[in-house]
């Protein structure tokens, strides 16, 4: 499950968000070599993250006593759980091996391809399997079999390492998972051998007195994105950590047997390299081949989230013959690769709406990202001469206008505004609709993968509706 850093705040609608700017186009190239943001590059983010983890494990091999392994829920320790992580686990040389959207197959591939090889931790905190259940055909038995494969590999590769198998957290983001999670956990409990593998299910601590998931902590129904959730998590596993830090390993303990027989679909136990980007790109090419597109969205994670807020997106953009070619994690260089590799073949949209800010979360200068956006606009017009382009400003993050991240966003958006010529290229800053009068982000969350609330995306739709319909020459729908 996917997680990207975003502010958790918001505002009232600001009519200034509809303004279009007509100014000179930025130069794309300089005498210097082109910056990475302007060089078409196929996204390989999953493998890049894995390689970074292997490098980190290698560099700190002698210091790592505890490993957290899993998907985006584990990765969220880098967000709202960072303070507790720094206090409790950083002194133990902890390493976080959580990658968003990973299944048991993907984690097993990573474990078998270098990330465990240099280290010999005292313990592994394992939480994996919920993403397997997103396939409606996957049974609890198949998930348990995949988790067992990870436990068995860890125990074989590092015989002195204990494994804490954590029960899957309650999940209300996808209704079909609600009944399956307890069944998976009941099977995982069989992995507890009382010696080197322990099972712990503390998911009930995340529930309200009425028995539903605490949505003040799990705002998206899947991830504990508030510090209180990580406090519960940390307190739940701390006794085990304290015990295992003192206890010497028990020699000659074999990995536990599988809690189930070989399921009809054993793929959860087969290591799998992830190629999300190419898979999504192939689906995009298939959509493009069908044509019938007057409105096209391009972008990164935020734009990709429109696919997660149905039926709002269909009601808002379906009548405009809309396609969304945004890919999560897409940077400007990745979008350029999409465009150069067939994404526009077979379609002639009246309007392309593009927003990119994933480049901004690292140290990439705002000027470089803006140059990448300029390259995208130019390439669109090279391939679609009659198509208009609406460039969206990045959403603000950071509590107040003086926050360094807010300053970077403001600089980036001012550069994007200069791309507009008022004829074929236009600029709109939807983020203004989420700001209070003093520039602070208000109570409504900024759109993003951990904030898929309908009201948030309704606010975004409101902020760009008039501009999109005007540029497409389409009548405004009744609202």
Q: Does residue 23 sit in the same domain as residue 143? A: no
Closest CA to 448 of 394, 370, 402: 394
Q: Does residue 305 sit in the same domain as residue 384? A: yes
Q: Does residue 245 sit in the same domain as residue 302? A: no
Q: Which helix (H) or strand (E) holds 240?
A: helix 227-246
Final residue in a domain of this structure, among 216, 247, 269: 269
Q: How does residue 401 score in pLDDT terms, banded at 50, 70 and 90?
A: confident
List, in sequence order, the alpha helices (H) in 254-365.
276-289, 301-304, 312-317, 332-340
Cβ burial, residue 380 (10 Å; 0-12/13-18/19+): buried
The region of weakest confidence among 31-35, 217-221, 423-427, 462-466 is: 31-35
122-134 burial code (b ≥16 CB/10 A, e <16): bbbbbbbbbbbbe
Q: How does residue 3 score in pLDDT terms, banded at 50, 70 and 90?
A: very low
Q: Does residue 416 sit in the same domain as residue 283? A: yes
Full residue range of the structural domain in which residue 365 is found: 15-42+275-472
When divided into structural domains, the chain yields a total of 2
pLDDT of residue 18: 25
Position 20 pLDDT exceeds 70: no
Summarize pLDDT for 186-195 with one digit per residue, the tens.
Answer: 999 999 999 9
Q: Does residue 306 sit in the same domain as residue 445? A: yes
DSSP codes joined into one string, 353-405? EEE--GGGGTT--HHHHHHHHHHHHHHHHHH-TT-EEEEEPPPP-SSSTTSHH
Q: Tell whether 94 is covered by a domain.
A: no
Identify whether the C-beta of residue 195 lies closer than 8 Å to the C-beta of residue 252.
Answer: no
Q: Tell whether 57 is covered by a domain.
A: no
CATH code where residue 22 lies = 3.40.50.1110
d(CA 55, CA 61): 10
């Amino acid at each position: 499950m996917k997680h990207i850093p975003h502010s958790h705040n918001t505002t009232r609608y600001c009519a200034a968000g509809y303004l279009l700017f007509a100014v000179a186009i930025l130069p794309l190239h300089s005498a210097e070599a082109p910056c990475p943001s302007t060089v078409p590059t196929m996204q390989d983010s999953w493998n890049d993250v894995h390689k970074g983890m292997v490098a980190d494990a290698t560099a700190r091999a002698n210091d790592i006593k505890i490993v957290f392994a899993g998907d985006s829920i584990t990765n969220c320790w880098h967000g709202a759980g960072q303070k507790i992580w720094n206090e409790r686990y950083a002194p133990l040389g902890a390493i976080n091996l959580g990658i968003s959207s990973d299944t048991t197959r993907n984690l097993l591939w990573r474990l078998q391809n270098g990330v465990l090889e240099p280290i010999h931790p005292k313990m592994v905190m394992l939480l994996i399997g919920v993403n397997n259940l997103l396939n409606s055909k996957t049974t609890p038995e198949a998930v348990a079999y995949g988790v067992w494969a990870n436990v068995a590999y860890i125990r074989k590769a590092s015989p002195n390492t204990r494994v804490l198998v954590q029960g899957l957290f309650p999940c209300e983001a996808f209704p079909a998972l609600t009944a399956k999670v307890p069944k998976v956990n009941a099977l995982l409990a069989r992995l507890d051998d009382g010696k080197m593998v322990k099972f712990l299910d503390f998911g009930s601590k995340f529930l309200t007195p009425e028995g539903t998931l605490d949505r003040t902590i799990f705002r998206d129904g899947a991830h504990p994105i508030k510090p209180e959730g990580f406090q519960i998590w940390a307190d739940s596993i701390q006794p085990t950590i304290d015990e295992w830090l003192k206890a010497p390993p028990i020699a000659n303990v074999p990995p536990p047997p599988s809690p189930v027989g070989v399921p009809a679909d054993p793929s959860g136990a087969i290591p799998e390299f992830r190629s999300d980007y190419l898979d999504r790109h192939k689906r995009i090419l298939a959509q493009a081949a069908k044509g019938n597109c007057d409105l096209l969205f391009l972008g990164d994670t935020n734009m990709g989230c429109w696919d997660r807020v149905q039926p709002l997106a269909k009601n808002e953009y379906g009548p405009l013959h809309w396609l969304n070619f945004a890919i999560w994690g897409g940077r400007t260089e990745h979008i350029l690769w999409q465009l150069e590799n067939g994404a526009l073949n077979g379609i002639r949209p009246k309007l392309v709406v593009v927003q990119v800010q994933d480049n901004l979360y690292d140290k990439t200068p705002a000027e470089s990202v803006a140059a990448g956006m300029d390259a995208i606009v130019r390439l669109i017009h090279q391939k679609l001469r009659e198509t208009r382009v609406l460039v969206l400003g990045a959403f603000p993050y950071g509590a107040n206008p003086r926050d360094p991240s807010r300053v970077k966003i403001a600089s980036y958006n001012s550069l994007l505004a200069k791309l507009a010529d008022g004829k074929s290229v236009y600029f709109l800053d939807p983020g203004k609709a989420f700001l209070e009068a003093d520039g602070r982000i208000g109570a409504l969350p900024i759109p993003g993968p951990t904030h898929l609330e309908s009201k948030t995306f309704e606010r975004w739709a409101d902020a760009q509706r008039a501009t999109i319909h005007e540029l497409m020459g389409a009548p405004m729908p009744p609202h």
